[in-house]
Amino acid sequence: MVWCMRVCGWVLRKKEIGRVVIVEVVSSRSKPSVLVLKEEREPDLYAVSKTLDVGTALCFEGEIAAEQKSKRGIEYTVSKIEVYSKPVSPLPVEVSGKVPSLLDTRIKYRWLLLRNPVEKAIFNIRESVFHAAREYLRRNGFHEVQTPKIVAAGAEGGATLFKVEYFEYQAYLSQSPQLYKQILMNAYPRVYEITPYFRAEKFNTPRHLNESWGIDVEQGFINGVEDVLETLENLVSYIVNYVVDNNKEDLETLGVNLEKVNPPFKRLRFTEVVDLLKNEGIEVSEKEDLPDHAERKLGEIMKSKGHRLYFITGFPWNATGFYYMREEDGMYTRKFDLDFEGLEIASGGQREHRYDKLVEAIILKGLNPDDFQFYLESFKYGIPPHGGFGLGVERLLMKMLNLENVREAILFVRDRTRLLP
- Residue numbers annotated as active site: 199, 201, 207-208, 344, 347, 395
Beta strands at 386-392 and 343-350: parallel, antiparallel or unpaired: antiparallel
Cβ pair 137, 114 in contact under 8 A: no
CA distance 177 to 175: 7
Task: Work out the number of other CB atoms within 10 angstroms of the CB of residue 48.
Answer: 20
Neighbouring C-beta atoms of residue 205, cutoff 10 Å: 12
Query: What DSSP letter does each residue of 44-107 carry, written as one string?
Result: HHHHHHHT--TT-EEEEEEEE-SS---SSSEEEEEEEEEEEE--SS--SS-TTSSSPPPHHHHH
Candidates 400, 412, 415; CA nearest to 108 is 412
Before 291, cis peptide (omega within 30)? Answer: no
End-to-end CA distance of the chain: 47
Q: Are strands 57-64 and 5-17 parallel, antiparallel or unpaired?
A: antiparallel
Strands 169-173 and 335-340: unpaired
Backbone angles phi, psi at 309, to 5 degrees: -115, 135
CB 323 within 8 A of CB 155: yes
Can you point out the beta strands (E) in 133-283?
143-144, 150-151, 163-166, 169-173, 190-198, 211-220, 266-269
Give, to the nearest 10 degrees, the angle between helix 292-304 and helix 270-279: 80
Amino acid at 338: L
Report the C-alpha gap between 52 and 62 in whole angstroms: 18
- Cβ count within 10 A of residue 338: 24
- CA pair distance 271, 63, nearest whole angstrom: 63
- The string over 187-196, giving b where at least 16 C-beta atoms fall within 10 Å of a residue's C-beta and e elsewhere, is ebbbbbbbbe
For 356-408, give the DSSP string. HHHHHHHHHTT--GGGGHHHHGGGSS-PPPEEEEEEEHHHHHHHHTT-S-GGG
